[in-house]
């Protein structure tokens, strides 16, 4: 295995370890919030979060992805990297300050109650620091320092957990809880930022020439992201206009599980993107294709058991996580996990599209899918409520994943082997069949049996081999840093 592949494997292992911890903390936080706020209160939180997220996606402008690509193209050129980092960070700072500040003011004009309108102001800081943090994370990805990102996320989640625990003990309401969300996000950002300053320069500046060039390259990504908000967040907003906040809360609890799960593929793809961009820029098609194939195999081994396992245990999991009042969220989670699986696969290929510089070619797909999904939301959410929102989310994510897959395979002139994916799919089906009888006994026992069955089957079918595991263990112990791999 090459030095670059070792670094990627080790960084991914660190991310997974950190993500396990932060996910556990995140699930605990969701459980505390749902029990404290109830269906209606959590519905208001979900609405406030979705509303601010629309403005956050608008200000994205593709900068999150573009900064990683630009740093990867001329890796090692310190002068270039410092200019990229400072210019993009400054552009994000000023645009976030402007666009996000408008959001809660507009919210005052909407038909929401007073508590929800105040919550829009309280959650502002969370989105502001998150917008800045995304650029800092791009720098960490370039230097393969994702252990820092994992640590920062755990710190942020710990601060949030402490805040929500205090709110629970004091029996506080929605607005104090939302302020704790902003406090946790701020802690995450400052840990990341202070450490990243050791090897990157973040200076507030005005660089019109560089900003113009950056936006010229990033606007197709930004446009696709703006269109993607229609099928990623408009569902919650439309639901909040035509259905009671209790239903928004039930939908939001299941959707929050999706949001927690999909951070893993985005973190992995963020590390992968500069490597793909570098390989394609150097016209090393073999290395590019190898990264894609290995990533597809890895996500096959993770995604299929996650999807089928969730279909099996969704209802008891939602009761365990959010409380008995959110048992109905289990049915929504069973639908949304299909969208989650599509996002897992689609993230790899959508980042490959960026590395291939084919963002413009993908834009019509985003536009068509967004329009169709929005029409579906308007027609069916008033009638079928959260179930329409969930199924239309699946539709849109599957379409985008398939389009990204086709674009990647066509432009890179490559194919994928379905050997590992097929074995993982078969193992996942058998896992559900064999674990199903234990569901009435114990949720924990069901999960343990399912995990054991799946592990045995993937080794028995040689989807995963002993050599692969030993190689990953060896590389995770002594992987090189980003500085000596790129």
Query: Is 34:322 a contact under the CB 8 Å cutoff?
Result: yes
Distance of CA 372 to the CA centre of its chain: 23
Which of 376, 374, 378, 256 lies closest to 321 in space, CA to CA? 256
Q: What is the largest CA-CA distance in the chain?
A: 65
State yes or no: pLDDT of 470 exceeds 70: no
Residue 466 has pLDDT above 90, yes or no: no
CB-based contacts of 467, cutoff 8 Å, min separation 6: none
pLDDT surpasses 60 at 20: yes
290 CB contacts (<8 Å, ≥6 apart)? none
Give residue 142's pLDDT band: very low, low, confident or very high (50, 70, 90).
confident
| 286-309 pLDDT, tens digit each | 989 988 998 898 889 999 999 999
Confidence (pLDDT) at 12:
63
pLDDT band at 9 (very low <50, low <70, confident <90, very high): low
Q: Per residue in 161-205, pLDDT tens? A: 999 999 999 999 999 999 999 999 999 999 999 998 888 888 888
Q: Rounded CA gap, 44 and 254, in Å?
A: 15
Of 128, 126, 146, 129, nearest to 137 by C-alpha is 146
pLDDT in tens, 31-75: 999 999 999 999 999 999 999 998 998 888 888 778 877 776 666
Q: Where residue 400 falls among pLDDT bands split at 50, 70, 90?
A: very high
CB atoms within 10 A of CB 395: 18
Helix (H) or strand (E) holding 483: none
Mean pLDDT of all residues in 5-18 = 65
Number of helices (H) and strands (E) in the chain: give both, helices first: 18, 0
| Predicted structure pTM score | 0.81
Q: At what angle do helices 3-60 and 245-261 cross, to 10 degrees?
A: 150
Q: How many Å apart are CA 278 and CA 257, to the nearest integer?
A: 34
How does the average pLDDT of the chain come out, rounded?
A: 87
User: Do residues 119 and 174 touch, judged by C-beta distance below 8 A?
Assistant: yes
Provide the 8-state DSSP code for 205: -
CA pair distance 326, 36, nearest whole angstrom: 12
Q: Which helix (H) or strand (E) element contains residue 1? A: none
Which pLDDT score, from 0 to 100, does residue 25 have? 92
Instruction: Give the CB-side neighbour count of residue 396, counting CA atoms within 13 A.
Output: 28
The terminus-to-terminus CA distance of the chain in angstroms comes to 15
pLDDT of residue 481: 37
Lowest mean pLDDT among 8-22, 23-37, 406-420, 466-480: 466-480
Retrieve residue 85's tokens: 């980092």
């Amino acid at each position: 295995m090459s030095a670059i592949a070792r670094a990627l494997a080790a960084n991914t292992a660190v991310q997974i370890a950190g993500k396990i911890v932060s996910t556990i903390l995140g699930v605990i936080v969701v459980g505390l919030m749902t029990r404290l706020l109830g269906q209606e209160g959590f519905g208001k939180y979900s609405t406030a979060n979705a509303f601010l997220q629309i403005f956050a996606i608008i200000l994205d402008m593709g900068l999150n992805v573009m900064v990683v690509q630009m740093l990867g193209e001329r890796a090692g050129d310190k002068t270039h990297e410092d200019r990229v980092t400072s210019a993009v960070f400054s552009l994000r700072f000023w645009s976030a300050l402007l666009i996000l500040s408008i959001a809660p003011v507009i919210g005052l004009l909407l038909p929401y109650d007073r508590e929800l309108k105040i919550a829009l102001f309280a959650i502002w800081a969370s989105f502001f620091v998150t917008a800045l943090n995304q650029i800092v994370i791009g720098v960490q990805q370039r230097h393969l320092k994702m252990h820092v990102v994992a640590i920062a996320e755990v710190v942020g989640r710990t601060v949030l957990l402490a805040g929500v625990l205090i709110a629970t003990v004091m029996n506080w309401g929605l607005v104090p809880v939302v302020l704790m969300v902003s406090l946790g996000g701020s802690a995450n950002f400052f840990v990341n930022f202070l450490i990243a300053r050791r090897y990157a320069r973040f200076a507030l500046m005005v660089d019109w020439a560089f900003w113009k060039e950056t936006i010229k390259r990033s606007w197709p990504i930004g446009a696709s992201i703006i269109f993607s908000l229609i099928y990623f967040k408009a569902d919650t907003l439309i639901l909040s206009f035509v259905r009671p906040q209790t239903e928004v809360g039930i939908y939001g609890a299941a959707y929050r599980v999706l949001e927690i799960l999909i951070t893993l593929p985005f973190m992995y793809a963020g590390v992968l993107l500069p490597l793909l961009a570098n390989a394609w820029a150097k016209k090393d098609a073999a290395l590019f294709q190898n990264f894609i194939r290995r990533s597809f195999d890895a996500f096959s081994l993770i995604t299929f058991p996650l999807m089928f396992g969730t279909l099996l245990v969704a209802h008891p999991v939602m009761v365990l996580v959010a409380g008995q009042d959110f048992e109905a969220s289990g049915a929504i989670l069973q639908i949304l996990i299909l969208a989650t699986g599509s996002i897992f696969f689609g993230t790899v290929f959508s980042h490959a599209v960026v590395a291939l510089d084919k963002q413009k070619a993908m834009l019509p797909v985003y536009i068509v899918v967004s329009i169709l999904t929005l029409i579906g939301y308007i027609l069916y959410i008033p009638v079928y409520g959260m179930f329409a929102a969930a199924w239309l989310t699946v539709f849109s994510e599957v379409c985008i994943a398939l389009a990204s897959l086709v674009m990647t395979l066509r432009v890179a002139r490559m194919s994928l082997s379905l050997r590992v994916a097929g074995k993982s799919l078969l193992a996942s089906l058998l896992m559900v069949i064999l674990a199903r009888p234990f569901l009435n006994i114990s949720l924990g026992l069901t999960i343990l049996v399912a995990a054991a069955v799946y592990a045995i089957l993937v080794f028995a079918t040689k989807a995963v081999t002993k050599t692969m595991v030993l190689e990953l263990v060896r590389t995770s112990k002594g992987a090189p840093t980003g500085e000596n791999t790129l």
